[in-house]
Structure 1
Amino acid sequence: MELFLFWLLRASVLMALFYGLYKFFLAHTTFHNVNRFSLICMLLVISVLPLFRFNFILGKKREPLTGAFSTDLSSIPVTEFVVTQPRVEIPWTHILIMLFAIGFLFTFIRYLIGLSQIAVIIRNSEKKMLPDQTVLWVTDKNISPFSWMKYMILSRGELSADNQAVIRHERAHIHFRHSVDMIFFDLFTCIFWFNPFSWLLRREIQSVHEYQADEKVLSEGIDSKQYQLLLIRKSVGEYKFALANNFRQRDLHKRIDMMKKDKTNRRLKWNYAMVLPVLFLAMTALSAPKLNAKAETTENFPGDVGKVTLRAGGGKHPLYIVDEKIVSEAEMQKINAAEIESVSVLKNNSAIGMYGNKGKEGVILITTKKSNRDALSTGTGTMDSLRGDVKDLIRRTQENSAQNLVRILENPPLIIVDGEKMPKDFELKSILPDEIQSMSVLKDKSAIEMYGDEGKNGVIIITKKIPDQNP
């Protein structure tokens, strides 16, 4: 689902780039055939290019690892460690997918209704053959002349008026197969219903279709002035179908201006070369690292890997998670490098977004090939959050200060000091930080298995220093 959303995002960016390029450099020219081809190519590039990632700029050749693997975390900017109860995450991905699906279904159903209306008109129309072998479907409805695929539909009033210009115009649409273009652009707007540039591109292809049909009509000897007056007369009073190629069109003044316009200098076809730098820019943007809230997993390299060393500069303490369980740095260092499947690093907003304030100093995710251990957090003078009914568990460490504050509100966990269970009203602040040799945290299943019901809110195990170890 996330990949689909990223495809929509990248395609939307490309759409804006290409629309701006077309409108600024190409839309005002009289190269109608080339413009039509350009718009169709843009549609294909917008749809296909975001599916690929290009590493010709940022990519680096990866070499097999045969020595030690090291990750420097010194760039993680943090000053304190705050652990809170896990937050209720809002499923934004599912919400966005749901909104997209609703919009798509609404737009697609409207499209199908439009097609069905055209089909009903054709089915209820009378088929006629003109002397020049042109096939018409004549309807009694007061509608604007239009064509769809091989069908040319006129009202009975239009037929009696013997409007050769109208018939030639719609025959030009059929000749150029403009309806095929409209099918692709209509489906494109159904998918990108939320993006105004998709509707603008659809409007541009409709304009090009009308320019092509007008040009062909005038090339067959129809008087330009009379044809323009006919367009003006037909611009009001009749119903038209948005999905079909209509004789009259919203931007009538643009069509008339285009008919009056001199042919564009052929040298201006070099403007189409502007597509190349825009395409290069798009490929460069797509070569950037993938935006993803999840961790980017390192690749596995062949060869014998030595030990794994993870360094966090500046005295910072990232959150270590092994097989989805929080562990201390000491436990992490005990892991055999041969057992590691992958190592990932989350920083800044990515870490906080996935793990809340627990990931403020960064998160190191380690996945082992086999996971048989329960969650256990241990370490010297460190502490991790407790799940269950623990409402607030905070440890603050001030720089250049040995004072620590541990605060637990509501349903306190079981506290064990030097192997003895403490009463429920026991206060952790009664133990000075300098008296603590080590502090460990058991959570969830591990705590309940070892201490039964008493450990349902978590267990804090404290080992105090022996007197001669106190400074």
Structure 2
Amino acid sequence: MPALFVYLLQANAALLLFVLAYYALLRPLTFYRLNRFFLLVALLLAAVCPLIEVAGLGFAAQYLPPLPAAAVATWHSVVPPAPLAAAATSACWQWLTIGYWMGAAGLLGRLGLQLLALRRLHRRSRPAVVAGLAVRQTTAPGSAFSFWQTIYLNPVHYPPADLPTVVRHEQVHVQQWHTLDTLLGQLAVAGAWLNPGAWLLRRAIQENLEFLTDQYLLQTGFDSREYQYSLLRASALASGHRLGNHFHFLTLKTRILMMNKQQSSRLHLARYALLAPLALGLSLAFAGPKTALAPPPAALAQAALPTEAVYYIDGKPATKAAVEQLDPNSIAGMNALKGENVGKVLGNTKATEAILIITKNHENATEVVALNRKLNALVDPAGKLLLVGDKEVSLAEFRPLLAAETRQVTALSAQDARQRFGERGRNGAVLIAAKP
């Protein structure tokens, strides 16, 4: 599975668990400030946890594997090209990647268009003072809303007695920077649009901001009944801009229920303590690729590599110690030569065994190309299944391609070829990878 989808799987699973925990344990509570903090931290942890490396957990780093017995008898690639089925799988992942990015780009594009529409609305509005507070007066229909540090409303849509309440409500959104939460919720949906948890999170954020604002105003002296009547009268208006925080929110019934709800007891704070182990557990469980707690590459190479062989790195003579110091992740392929093949490829008639290392940064080097040609010349394609990419070709077609190939081809034994290709590979197979 590509790294992108490993990250998305882990991040989305963590996000969904956090959202479910919020709706099950925290949403019924009236600790709206704590709930705001929890929702933002949940979003942050879900996005960051898969990127954290924690030593000693999860998958250990991959190191150089021991040479197989078959490699000692003749030359053999330790890292052969993927089978044909893997090529089809890779194409599938590519289409899935394209589909994911198209969905994310579409939602980000919509967000950009909404911001542009808001900018046009701002230019068409004019500064005004309503109930002693600075606002941008619009001519468009719709309820009042705020975005960032600005309040937008059309005063003609509200009874004069309701305007102080409406403007004060939006001022709380502005003072507490609620737009920041709203934008983070929008970005969460764009990045995790396939995850229902992301859509629930965005709604939970918007809903909780209204609960928090209502609570703040009632605690500062607003009459509860008059405030609810103001909300009811405003409910007949169409919603304002999608990115704004609205005086009139769609969950009006829920807001009124929460305003009349008895304040949660301090004992309910224990629910937040219960969620701390969940956050810690998810941080560890969905942490990214892990390192260490495996033997160092040098120690593993000492156990895997023969001491009597001669060594080459990227077509040039090297020492066993130099091979042991290579980063295993930098190795593109490794081959073993034995007997007369050492002399044929390297011109060294005294050595009876050779280990050839090719690194990823030098696969097209002159020495490597020359080495690959000599290795390919050892291949006898007669009677074997011959493949170029995923296309089977005849011996007459294959020989000139083999002679011209500057990359190392893969020769499979009869047993390996039969396992991969069935009866077609009963005599072995030779593969030339498709051009990238």
TM-score (norm 1): 0.62
Aligned-pair CA distance for 1:179: 0.9
Question: How many angstroms apart in 2 are the aligned matches of 1:378 and 1:298?
Answer: 36
SS at match of 2:386: coil
C-alpha displacement at 1:341, in angstroms? 7.0
Name the SS for the 1:264 alignment partner. Answer: coil
- Per-residue Cα deviation, 1:115-160 (whole angstroms, up to 9, x for no partner): 222222222223222464x102222222101111121111131466
Aligned to 1:110: 110
CA contact (8 A) 1:387 1:444 kept: no
| Structure 2 SS opposite 1:208 | helix
CA distance in 2, matches of 1:298, 1:252: 61
Structure showing the higher helix proportion among its residues = 2
Residues 394-405 of structure 1 correspond to what in structure 2 (within 5 A)?
A: none
2:332/2:358 contact within 8 Å kept: no
Give the AA of the match of 2:137. Answer: V
One-letter code aligned to 1:216: Y
What is the aligned counterpart of 1:300 among 272, 297, 307? Answer: 297
Task: Show CA shifts across 1:286-316 (max 9, x none).
Answer: 36878xxxxxx9963269725549xxxxxxx
1:413 to partner: Cα distance: 3.5
8 Å contact kept, 2:138–2:153: yes
1:136 and 1:267 map into 2 onto residues whose CA distance is 41
Deviations 1:412-433 (A, max 9, x none): 547xxxxxxxxxxxxxxxxxxx
Q: Following superposition of structure 1 onto structure 2, how do residues 274-423 of structure 1 map, counting pairs within 5 Å?
A: 274-286=274-286, 300-301=297-298, 305=302, 307-308=304-305, 336=354, 339-340=356-357, 372-373=371-372, 374-375=375-376, 385-388=385-388, 413=395
Q: Contact conserved, 2:333 with 2:357, CA < 8 A, in 1?
A: no
Q: Looking at CA atoms only, which structure, 1 or 2, has the larger radius of gyration?
A: 1
Return the alpha-carbon distance in structure 1 between the equivalents of residues 56 and 301 of structure 2: 29
Report what 2:311 is aligned to.
none
Name the count of aligned residue pairs: 345
**1:131, 1:262 → 2: CA distance?**
31
User: Partner amino acid for 1:300?
Assistant: P
Deviations, residues 20-46 of structure 1 (Å, cap 9, x unaligned): 111111111100001101111111111
Partner Cα distance (2:217, 2:129) in 1: 20
Q: Secondary structure at the match of 1:242?
A: coil
Provide the rounded CA distance (Å) in 1 between the counterparts of 2:31 and 2:97: 40
1:445 corresponds to: 402
Which residue identity does 2:298 align to in structure 1? F
For structure 2, the 5+ residue unaligned runs are 71-82, 307-330, 343-351, 360-366, 407-424, 428-436
What is the one-letter code of the residue matched to 1:145?
A
2:116, 2:204 → 1: CA distance? 25
Whether 1:30 and 2:30 are equivalent positions in the alignment is yes
Q: Within 1, Cα distance between the matches of 2:67 and 2:304?
A: 9
Residue number in structure 1 paired with 2:167: 167
TM-superposed deviation, 1:283 = 3.6
Post-superposition Cα deviations, 1:88-130, rounded to whole Å, max 9, x if no partner, equal 6352332222212221221112112212222222222232224
- Mark the CA change 1:55 to 1:283 in structure 2 (over 3 Å): closer, same or farther: farther
Letter paired with 2:19: Y
Aligned to 1:149: 148
Change (3 A) 1:153 1:447: closer
Shift, 1:237, TM fit: 3.5
Match of 1:196 in 2: 196
Q: Does the 8 A contact of 1:326 with 1:376 survive in 2?
A: no
Give the match for residue 244 of structure 1. 244
In 1, Cα distance between the equivalents of 2:203 and 2:38?
A: 14
**Cα root mean square deviation, aligned:** 4.3
Residue 129 of structure 1 aligns to a residue in which SS? strand
Paired position in structure 2 for 1:92:
92
1:117–1:326 CA distance, 2 compared to 1 (3 A): same
Q: 1:233 to 1:129 in 2, by over 3 A?
A: closer
**For residue 327 of structure 2, what is the aligned residue in structure 1?**
none
Q: Following the alignment from structure 2 to structure 1, what is the Cα–Cα distance between the partners of residues 229 and 272?
A: 34
For residue 217 of structure 1, give the secondary structure of its aligned residue in structure 2: helix
Check 1:127–1:281 CA distance in 2 against 1; reply closer, same or farther (3 A cut): same
Alignment pair present for 1:136 and 2:135: yes
Q: Could you tell me which residue of structure 1 aligns to residue 321 of structure 2?
A: none
Asked if the contact 1:126–1:137 (Cα under 8 Å) also holds between the matched residues in 2, the reply is: yes
Q: 1:260 to 1:303 in 2, by over 3 A?
A: closer
How far apart are residue 161 of structure 1 and its match?
1.9
Residues 255-277 of structure 1, C-alpha deviation per residue, up to 9 Å, x if partnerless? Answer: 11110111111121121123332
Summarize the alignment of residues 71-86 of structure 1 with structure 2, pairs less than 5 Å apart.
Answer: 86=84
Matched, 1:233 2:230: no
For residues 378 and 173 of structure 1, do their structure 2 counterparts lie closer, same or farther at Cα, with a shift above 3 Å needed? same
d(CA) in 1 for partners of 2:289, 2:300: 26
Contact 2:336 / 2:354 at 8 angstroms: preserved in 1?
no
Counterpart Cα distance in 1 of 2:354 and 2:337: 15
Tell me, yes or no, if the aligned pair for 2:158 and 2:234 is still in contact at 8 Å: no
Taking the aligned partners of 1:234 and 1:13, their CA distance within structure 2 comes to 38
Q: d(CA) in 2 for partners of 1:50 and 1:72?
A: 38
Report the equivalent of 1:43. 43
Partner of 2:302: helix, strand, or coil? coil
SS at match of 2:161: coil
Separation in 1, partners of 2:250, 2:29: 19
Displacement after TM superposition at 1:329 (Å)? 11
Deviation of 1:201 after TM superposition, in Å, equals 0.5
**1:386 partner SS:** strand
Q: Which amino acid aligns with 2:206?
A: Q
- Tell me if the contact between 2:26 and 2:35 (Cα under 8 Å) persists in the aligned partners: yes
Could you say which structure has the higher strand fraction? Answer: 1
- The gaps in structure 1 that reach 5 residues or longer are 74-84, 291-296, 310-321, 343-368, 393-410, 415-440, 450-459, 463-471
One-letter amino acid of the structure 2 residue matched with residue 445 of structure 1: L
Q: Say whether the 8 Å CA contact 1:127–1:136 is kept in structure 2.
A: yes
Secondary structure at the aligned position of 2:53 is classed as coil
